[in-house]
Amino acid sequence: MRLLIVTGGTGGHIYPALALAQAAEKRYSDLDLLFIGNDDRMEATIIPQAGYAFSSLHTSGLTKGITQKAKAIVQMLKAITQAKKIIREWKPDLVIGFGGYVSAPVILAAHALHIPTLIHEQNSIAGASNRLAARYADGIIICYERLFECFDRKKTRLLGNPRASSVLEVPFNKTYFTSLGLRMDQPLILVVMGSLGSTSVNDIMCEALPKLNQAYQILFVCGKGNLETVKKQLPKRDNLHVVEYVSQLEIMDQVDLIICRAGATTAAEITVSGTPAIIVPSPYVAHNHQFYNASVLADHKAAFLVEEKDLNSEILNDKIERIMGNPKLRQQMSEASQALGFPSAAEDILNWIDEMKR
């Protein structure tokens, strides 16, 4: 099996692609794998560090302004030509794109060369690159039912995010858990707003968390570069723990409630783990897609949704107490969340790849 994966721009595109690559390594003894991504985005570092072969292109989005749009179009045409060269030399059995500006030219190049193609859309609002690529792709994988309305239903399947499959493969790490100062016999609330955190949300958390019932232990992941600022704002308490980063999957089994964003990877992880959530979607993302991701969980009563503009310590504490003070509600939210998960996403996608190859 010769598999070419194209992805880039953000972790929401990159980590599902890596999860599929890891699943493919376990399935195929004859696997040859190549990634394509942008030369100046995070994938150019993350993917080689993960041990995979990587070829780069240079693309950018269709931002505002005639000059910038013209530049982006020229870059895309050049990227299509470069992608054709890579594909001719590498001869993949199939090309799968996970979004980001770099995906579209590679999918278009593969289509022109009659190589089978799939695209994967992680969010509930389709990205611009995938909307363009979908016209030429042989198959489209989605994570939300609402996207059947956006794509050609005949070639679209609801299979979920391969990152979800990774959640079940990471065992609970008690040693790591206790190294964070956490106790096994005390309910745990995890607060995490992404790897960089959110300065505005951090300020609200610093006001709200000290007011919580001290029967709960709180792990507040404040994001890179924010640790000292946050520690100065918070009182020192045995139940309140602050870190810049946490290996989240290693502790998820013991998390009773998560307060988080609604990126594609986060949504995949919490639905498979069945973790009750209070979701504060980032308003700073394209097409406000995190709001729509979160809305799906809220509509199914798997999470409470609070928009950042409405967030304050009173609202947050009220939501936390409603959930943590009601074990029956937590159980109902957990079951509703798991019903939205796709634990076999990676295997189901590989099954479709096998089908297309045949």
Class of domain 2-161+342-357: alpha beta
193, 206 Cβ separation under 8 angstroms:
no
Helix, strand or coil for residue 298? helix
Q: Percentage helix, strand, coil, to 5, in the chain?
A: 50, 15, 35
* The model scores a pTM over 0.75: yes
- 94 secondary structure, DSSP code: E
Distance CA 358, CA 116 (A): 11
Query: Mind listing the pLDDT tens digit for each residue in 65-93?
Result: 677 777 777 888 899 999 999 999 999 99
Which parts of the chain have pLDDT scores under 70? 61-65, 195-198
pLDDT at 40: 86
Where does the chain hold its CATH 3.40.50.2000 domain(s)?
2-161+342-357, 168-339
Architecture of domain 168-339: 3-Layer(aba) Sandwich (3.40)
Query: Mind listing the pLDDT tens digit for each residue in 263-286?
Result: 999 999 999 999 999 999 998 888
Alpha-carbon dihedral angle through residues 269, 274, 275, 276, given to the nearest 10 degrees? 130
Assigned token pair, 326: 């009601």
Which residue is listed with tokens 């960089």? 196
Distance CA 221, CA 243 (A): 5
Alpha-carbon dihedral angle through residues 136, 142, 144, 147, given to the nearest 10 degrees? 10
